[in-house]
Amino acid sequence: MRTVASLTLCLGLLSGCEQPPAQKQTASESPRPVTEHLPDFTQFQNTDDKKQAFFDFLMPLIEQVNDDVLSIRTELEAMTPPLTEAQQTRLQQLVRRYRIQEETQTEQIQRLLTRVLPIPPSLVLAQAANESAWGTSRFATEGNNLFGQWCFKRGCGLVPLDRPEGDRHEVAVFDTPLDSVRSYVRNLNTHPEYQQLRQIRRQQWQTQGYADGKALASGLLGYSERREEYVEEIRSMIRYNQLSQYDQPDASASLPQG
């Protein structure tokens, strides 16, 4: 499975066309049950209402996935060779999950620390809106696929109606929208194409304690065949929808090491 060219357009909802929602909505701190399907965003007649509903739905999922990533990072920061047997087992699980090639435990941990960091919510929101037509595309509504991720095993997903003859790719199907967010975050954290994104993110975490989606967008050249045009489109969506506010950490947030 890999992420490729943008499969859907904004269908007239590209951020620059409308005034952005005025204020940041804070997600509820209480646990939410897993939602198996996206809401029907076509019910909204007002564009701003549709956008805000989309952001409100996705933010708890993004926070959950990013919190899980930070929990794994906490495990890594506690790993100092020689490792216990349990730590060795856990390290090898993470080495496989994050596609680490280094051989020694110290090198593996250091490489993992460059990959195990959150993705800025502004970037997740903008790409999800762009790739899923604000949650209304066929791949979003039928397959919970918010980010245009492909798969290559016959029957693994939905066949694009305009797929060229001879191509084998399908658009991946996920059990829940949360699974789609998890897959997207893991893709950006592991695929070689996004090494620049991870480097920018690490530098920002070390200097300011969080990462900025507009800055990280420059590492998305390989996400779409439109390359620079796609990067600028994502930045514009972040800017016009005032999504950078979601990247700001809580005052109590700690700065990851490494």
10-residue averages of pLDDT along the chain (258 residues): 36 33 38 78 97 98 98 98 97 98 97 98 99 97 96 90 86 97 98 98 96 98 96 99 92 43
pLDDT confidence of residue 236: 99
Q: Is 18 exposed, middle or buried (0-12, 13-18, 19+ CB in 10 A)?
A: middle
Decide if 215 contacts 209 (C-beta within 8 A): no
Model confidence, pTM:
0.84
Which strands, in side-by-side order, build the sheet including 2-3? 2-3, 149-151, 170-172, 157-158
Q: Going by CATH, does the domain composed of 2-11+47-247 fall within 1.20.140.10?
A: no
pLDDT confidence of residue 11: 28
Q: How many CB atoms lie within 10 A of CB 101?
A: 8
Decide if 142 contacts 238 (C-beta within 8 A): no
pLDDT confidence of residue 205: 96
Q: How far apart are CA 64 and CA 193, in angstroms?
A: 25
Q: How many CB atoms lie within 10 A of CB 88?
A: 14
pLDDT confidence of residue 162: 85
pLDDT confidence of residue 256: 46
Decide if 119 contacts 189 (C-beta within 8 A): yes
pLDDT confidence of residue 176: 98
- DSSP-based three-state secondary structure for 123: helix
Q: How far apart are CA 171 and CA 3, in angstroms?
A: 10
Q: Is 45 exposed, middle or buried (0-12, 13-18, 19+ CB in 10 A)?
A: exposed
Extract long-range pairs of 230-234: CB within 8 Å, 24+ residues apart.
230/6, 233/14, 233/130, 234/123, 234/126, 234/127, 234/130
Domain coordinates in residue numbering, the chain: 2-11+47-247
